[in-house]
Amino acid sequence: MAKSAGAKSARAKSAKPAKAAEPQPKIALPAMGRKIGEPWVDLPDGKALANWGRDEEIAYNQTNRQTEKALFYRRTFDFITDNRVVGDYHEYGCHRCRTFRMALTEARLHNLKSMNFFAFDSFEGLPEPTSQTSVEIWKRGALTTTEENFMGMVRAHGIYADRVKTIKGFYGESLTDKLKQKFLEGENKIALVNVDCDLYESAVPVFKFIDPLLQEGAVIYIDDLFAGYKGSPSKGVARAFLEYQQKTRWRFQRHLDISWWGRSYIVYLDKHAPVGVL
């Protein structure tokens, strides 16, 4: 998802990438107004924003964005638990282990003792983009977190680390038929999948790979539906999802919006479902 002021790029990684295992700088946000009355919303004023700069903007965006995502995970783990959707967590695009930790925490809060957690990433950042994105910093190697750093964050988080498995490699090579077969033989169906790999060409093999691992009630979270390609449905991950829908037997019920960038869908099968708006 793009970061704004910029794109997710900046958002996630920002102009000054910190080493993953190191503590992140804490930036004090301005105190919000205390007034109760017009304009009926807590808006910082010019005085509060007098020293507002790029670091504050990044901290502001990150706090808002990760809060939205954490809320999505809270709601969706409640959905899958309440509906008895049993399966694993898959994440395609793991980087700083932010959403992955949200999944681990929610799984623990719901006492999901049999869920496995699969982290698919190059752990070398993005491949060289072959589609034209609107985010100039999406270049080969951008958004890199090493496998070691990623697993360091998982272990430091202290939840279900023994059930986390990394699958390292660029999807064009790592998502093999052999690996798919292994998942199928283990009856490892997906309960929740986060597709968070930014690029059209990265998402295409992901949808193909997960298709036989889906089940009714599984949730697909597409993080970059409106990011990286100026929100155009004819480009980016949105395009990959639309193309995939032409090929699969699954149907997708729109479920939650994750702010301006993402959306989740519930997987179901009935081609003859009554037509209407939900």
Ligand X SMILES: C[S@@+](CC[C@H](N)C(=O)[O-])C[C@H]1O[C@@H](n2cnc3c(N)ncnc32)[C@H](O)[C@@H]1O
Residues that bind ligand X (CB under 6 A): 8, 12, 93-99, 121-122, 125-127, 143, 145, 170-171, 196-199, 202
Dist. CA 265–CA 268, nearest whole Å: 9
Sorted by sequence, the CB contacts under 8 Å of residue 231 that are 6+ apart come out as: none
> Before 103, cis peptide (omega within 30)?
no
Nearer to ligand X, 177 or 187 (CB): 177
Nearer to ligand X, 42 or 243 (CB): 243
DSSP 133: -
Taking CB positions, which residue lies at the least distance from ligand X? 93
Nearer to ligand X, 145 or 264 (CB): 145
Nearer to ligand X, 33 or 125 (CB): 125
Smallest distance, ligand X to C-beta of residue 12, A: 5
Dist. CA 184–CA 156, nearest whole Å: 31
Nearer to ligand X, 97 or 267 (CB): 97
Smallest distance, ligand X to C-beta of residue 43, A: 29
Smallest distance, ligand X to C-beta of residue 147, A: 11
Q: In what order do the strands lie in the sheet with 251-258?
A: 164-168, 117-121, 88-92, 190-195, 219-222, 262-268, 251-258
Smallest distance, ligand X to C-beta of residue 129, A: 9
Nearer to ligand X, 80 or 97 (CB): 97
Dist. CA 85–CA 253, nearest whole Å: 15
Dist. CA 227–CA 265, nearest whole Å: 17
Smallest distance, ligand X to C-beta of residue 222, A: 12
Dist. CA 246–CA 230, nearest whole Å: 23
Smallest distance, ligand X to C-beta of residue 50, A: 32
Nearer to ligand X, 96 or 189 (CB): 96
What is the crossing angle of helices 236-247 and 200-210, to 10°? Answer: 30
Where would I find the H helices in the chain? 8, 54-82, 98-109, 147-157, 171-174, 177-185, 200-210, 236-247
Smallest distance, ligand X to C-beta of residue 277, A: 31
